[in-house]
Amino acid sequence: MQAVVVDGFGGPEQIELVQVPVPQPGAGQVRVRVRAAGLNPVDGAVRVGVFGGAGQRLGFGWDVAGEIDGLGAGVSGWALSDPVVGLHYGPVKPLGTHAQYVVLDASAIAAAPSSADPVTAAALPLSGLTAARAVDLLGLAPGASVLVTGAAGVVGGLAVQLAARAGYAVTALAGADDEALVRTLGAAAFVPRGSAPAGPVDGVVDAAVLGAAALAHVRDGGVYVGLRPGDAPAAERGVRVVVQEVAADGEHLARLVALVDAGELTLRAGETFALAEAAKAHARLAEGGARGRIVLTVS
């Protein structure tokens, strides 16, 4: 099968499409025939060596949408050809979802949304679980005021929707041209990037990774939720500082799929590239400014 890998760190020119054996599912695992796979910022970080792995061949991809192609021993509740979405956790791995086939633990998958095609569905697993875990960590009462930074991004946009659904009064911080977008996602108020909300908020989901600059908008005794493990500002003024860490969680993913199919959660897939164009996709990712998740399609 074909898979996207790097044998050395650097720019998009390091990306290779290689032939590797089709992986075999072990006990408690499934093999998924990949139809679409999201390209996330974490993949760019893997490419440049942020997570280490020097001297190893590293694969890419956390998100997958496709159908079950093989069942390992002990797997129940799933059948061949079932359409699924899943999360392949881990930055340092020999193969990821940017391949024709991927093996996942059965506990890491959920039935794919019936209302979305594979390209759109591939924008859900990593971004959706990240946003949902962040909103859950707020732990505030309904009606509390919550600021979401980077609200027009894929994760930030999902966080806006989930926070509004949880009953929070959401203020979205994003680019000046993004007000209409974030309001359609459920933001009650808007703050253009570089400005401050009208007053302190009860909590912030810092999807833009602003750190101390975002924490400064939280009231004394409020809560700051970061999205990047190991990268959070120091607590001050009694503000509770927590950081979400995503995990492969098929049950939680299934709840998000249900929201998608109920029309309560909007997914945003952006530009698509064929698997053979992975280097071009990484170059586009590095440019920044994409609206919607970049997705690799697999034929």
| pLDDT value of position 230 | 83
Question: Do 214 and 200 lie in a common domain?
Answer: yes
Domain contains 78: yes
Q: Is residue 212 part of a domain?
A: yes
Residue located via tokens 């569905």: 121
Task: Check whether residue 109 and residue 205 sit in a common domain.
Answer: no
Q: What is the pLDDT of residues 262-275, one digit of tens each?
A: 999 999 999 999 99
* pLDDT of amino acid 229: 86
Specify whether 136 is located in the same domain as 112: no
**Residues contacting residue 280 through CB under 8 Å, at least 6 positions apart:** 12, 273
- Both 145 and 176 in one domain: the answer is yes
- Banded model confidence at residue 71, pLDDT cuts 50, 70, 90: very high
Structural domain harbouring 71? 2-124+267-297
Same domain assignment for residues 88 and 169: no
Is the CB of residue 3 less than 8 Å from the CB of residue 22? no
pTM as predicted: 0.95
Would 253 be classed as within a structural domain?
A: no
Whether 229 contacts 210, CB under 8 Å: no
Domain for residue 273, yes or no? yes
Q: What is the pLDDT of residue 288?
A: 86
Claim to verify: residue 109 and residue 150 sit in the same structural domain: no
Structural domain count of the chain: 2
Do 171 and 104 share a structural domain?
no
For residue 179, what is the domain's CATH number? Answer: 3.40.50.720
Domain of 24: which CATH number? 3.90.180.10
* Distance (Å, whole) CA 165 – CA 67: 30
150 lies in a domain? yes
For 284, the enclosing helix (H) or strand (E) is: helix 278-287
Convert the pLDDT of each residue in 185-216 to its tens digit. 999 999 999 888 989 999 999 999 999 999 99
Same domain, 9 and 116: yes
Whether residue 258 lies inside any domain: the answer is: no
Residues 120 and 131 in one domain: no
211-262: per-residue pLDDT in tens?
999 999 999 999 999 998 888 999 999 999 999 999 999 999 999 999 999 9
Does residue 141 sit in the same domain as residue 195?
yes
Any domain includes 252: no
Q: Are residues 137 and 79 in the same domain?
A: no
pLDDT at 194: 87
Q: What is the pLDDT of residues 96-150, one digit of tens each?
A: 999 999 999 999 999 999 999 999 999 999 999 999 999 999 999 999 999 999 9
Residues 74 and 114 grouped into a single domain: yes
DSSP label at 28? T
Nearest to 86 by CA among 73, 70, 105: 105
